[in-house]
Structure 1
Amino acid sequence: MDISDYLQRRGGVARTSHLEKAGFGRAAVRSAVASGRIVKSSRGVYAIPAASPLQQAMDRGGLLTCVSAAPVYGLWTLKSDSALHICRSHPVRTPGVVEHGRPKHPRHGWLPVAGLADVLLHSMRCLPELESLILIQSATGRGDISLDFLYASCGGKRNGKARKLLDLVIPRADSVLEVLANTHFARAGLRVRRHVLIPGVGEVDFLIEECLVVETDGSTHFEPRSVKKDQRRNNRSILGGYLVLRYYYEDVVYSPGAMVAEVLSVLELRRRGVFPSRPADGGDESA
């Protein structure tokens, strides 16, 4: 295996000791540096020429954590962060770097990355609430870590805010939009059921107050075939006696207040009789 290929498989960076264990002696390393295939990033650290957060973490003697480690674990994220989030034994105030103290759990197996437990716990104390929720939901939803373990790691009075955040995690979520929308609807006091199977329609994202179907659509729903499929589902939902609203990324992420206000307005119009009630709700079937 070529030394640059080896580095690629290790996230683009490795220490001299790891290169030696892999069979790359000093002569091979010097030759690779001279040819420009790799660079000496810092003392005892070598990397492929393109700089990466992993390289920056290793150069600083730390481990990536919080949102900076999310791509390594394949976690959902809401917004990118230009700052480098790391944890290390001896924090040093550095511009552009967010320090998270010493890691408390086993680190990543071979990359300069904190363990998943530390990544999530750090995010709970660092990121805005919903941004941290997204990371936690994706990790627990896949079964990478248990919600019980996170609760157990957040004991004491000082972690009350963290436990409230964990209370927002739902058993299943298929997208970032679903997590966020569910949180906003719940906080508005709405009665919500998720992943409801409606005969003739299929599974819908949300059924609110047993009468309003709400779908949250990501980018794949803009494909022509998906648009037609969604519109036909809307039609079948309405024929089944349900009201239907659809929201997109910009609605859920950037205008959640307006989204919730529309939902409440539709429910109020239905309460006032503007929309007929479904027979199952006790309304007049001929209405």
Structure 2
Amino acid sequence: MDLMEYVRFRHGTARTADLRRAGFSERMLAAAVAKGSLRRIKRGVYTAPGADQAVLGAFHSNGRLTCISAARFHRLWTLKPPPEELHVSCGNGIPRTGVVDHAPCTHPPHPHLPVAGVADVLLHALRCLPELEALVLVQSAVSQALLSPAFLNSKLPGKRNGRARAVLDLVIPRADSLLEVLAHTHFVRAGVSVQMHVDIPGVGEVDCLINGCLIVELDGGTHVEGKQVKKDQYRNNASLRGGLLVLRYYYADVVHRPERMVAEVLDVLKMRENGRYGPRSPWPADLF
């Protein structure tokens, strides 16, 4: 790996100490600066054109990206794009303009970027972000087996962390997308029985089974493709033949219009109870 490949691997900015450890001499760095390939932005830090602005900001702040600003570096789901204002852990308690400074990091950081480790990222997010935004980050990490809710819970003692621990109670054992954990949360809070990833004979695995009689499927981008649409329709047919109703919702429904989604589900359940769709489902809620 040559000098510029190394710097690009680090998202366009690197410390002199890391460059020297990688075998790049002061003479090589000086030559790259003279050529315009690198620029020394402060003592001990070099950057290349097109460098990642968040990483660059972390170096300027003498901190590590964390919370929502670090999510993409750990491939964590996010409910919203990261804000322009960087979330960093500077570790010295000195306020800095243009950043949200979090508590010091206490766990191993990212191996080669100025980014907090996933444990600190999530702990900071749980104390900082709105409930559902924090939940999505944590669920993503749990689904990737990066850590467990029990581990995070052990790091959040006392009354002051009660809100953060309450978010952990919403994490489910498995979620294949942020839609699943959000939908599960909305349905549970609506007071219905929710079973996730249920294998229905003749249908296959469904995303949600509500009150043992209503399938709710959560469709992402792949479900707009022709072959997938046809497959979904056949699954709907099989579900109806088996006595189960089906509703489908998309990203915008779950993320931006959850109240309407929940209201529709409750309406269908009420009509089912009133005999609008015939006898009750043969699938008892505790079968799966």
| AA of the residue aligned to 1:16 | T
Q: How do 1:93-112 residues align onto structure 2 when only pairs under 5 Å count?
A: 93-112=95-114
Could you say if the C-alpha distance between residues 185 and 147 of structure 1 is closer, same or farther in structure 2, counting changes exceeding 3 Å?
A: same
- Residue range with higher mean Cα deviation, 212-221 or 145-154: 145-154
- Given the alignment of the two structures, is residue 152 of structure 1 paired with residue 148 of structure 2, yes or no? no
Contact 2:214–2:247 (Cα < 8 Å) also in 1: yes
**Where does 1:204-215 land on structure 2 (aligned, <5 Å)?**
204-215=206-217
TM-score normalised by length of structure 1: 0.94
Structure 1 counterpart SS, 2:237: helix
Match of 1:285 in 2: none
Letter in 2 for 1:200: G
Asked if the contact 1:242/1:278 (under 8 Å) is kept, the reply is: no
What aligned pairs does 1:24-103 form with structure 2 within 5 A after superposition?
A: 24-52=24-52, 53-81=54-82, 82-103=84-105
Distance in structure 1 (CA, Å) of the matches to 2:91 and 2:168: 27
The 2-side partners of 1:182 and 1:204 are apart by: 13
Question: 1:89: how far off?
Answer: 2.1
Summarize deviations over 1:2-48 as a string: whole Å, max 9, x none. Answer: 21101122232211111111111111111112222222232211122
1:117-156 aligned within 5 A = 117-156=119-158
- Cα RMSD of the aligned pairs, angstroms, is 1.4
User: Contact 2:11 / 2:51 at 8 angstroms: preserved in 1?
Assistant: no
Cα gap change, 1:115 to 1:238, in 2 (>3 Å): same
Contact kept? 1:45, 1:59, Cα under 8 Å: no
Summarize the Cα distance change of 1:80–1:281 in structure 2 as closer, same or farther, 3 Å threshold. Answer: closer
Which deviates more, 198-207 or 89-98? 89-98
2:103 and 2:124 in contact (8 A); partners too: no
1:98-247 alignment runs, 5 A limit? 98-247=100-249
Deviation of the 1:51 alpha carbon: 3.2
Residue deviations 1:220-251 (CA, integer Å, cap 9, x gap): 11111111111111111111111110000000
Give % identity: 54
CA distance in 1, matches of 2:175, 2:262: 19
Residues 1:20 and 2:15 aligned together: no
Distance 1:92 1:4 in 2: 34
Contact 2:217–2:247 (CA<8 Å) still a contact in 1? yes
Partner-residue secondary structure (3-state), 1:72: helix
Aligned to 2:250: 248
Structure 1 pair 123/281, CA: closer, same or farther in 2 (3 Å)? Answer: closer
In 2, are the aligned partners of 1:185 and 1:260 still within 8 Å (CA)?
yes
Alpha-carbon distance between aligned partners in 2 of 1:123 and 1:134, rounded to the nearest angstrom: 10
Unaligned 5+ segments in structure 1 are 283-287
Q: 1:270 — aligned with what? A: 272
What letter matches 1:78 in structure 2?
L
Q: Distance in 2 between matches of 1:203 and 1:280?
A: 18
**259-268 or 103-112: bigger deviation:** 103-112
Aligned equivalents of 1:280 and 1:203: distance in 2?
Answer: 18
Q: What amino acid is the match of 2:96? A: T
Aligned length: 282
8 Å CA contact 1:41, 1:55 repeated in 2: no
SS of 2:282's partner is helix
- Measured after TM superposition, the shift of residue 94 of structure 1 is 3.4
Q: Aligned with 1:280: secondary structure?
A: coil
* TM-score, normalization by structure 2: 0.94
Q: Give the superposition deviation at 1:278.
A: 4.2
Contact 2:244 2:281 in 1 (8 A): no
CA contact (8 A) 2:61 2:96 kept: no
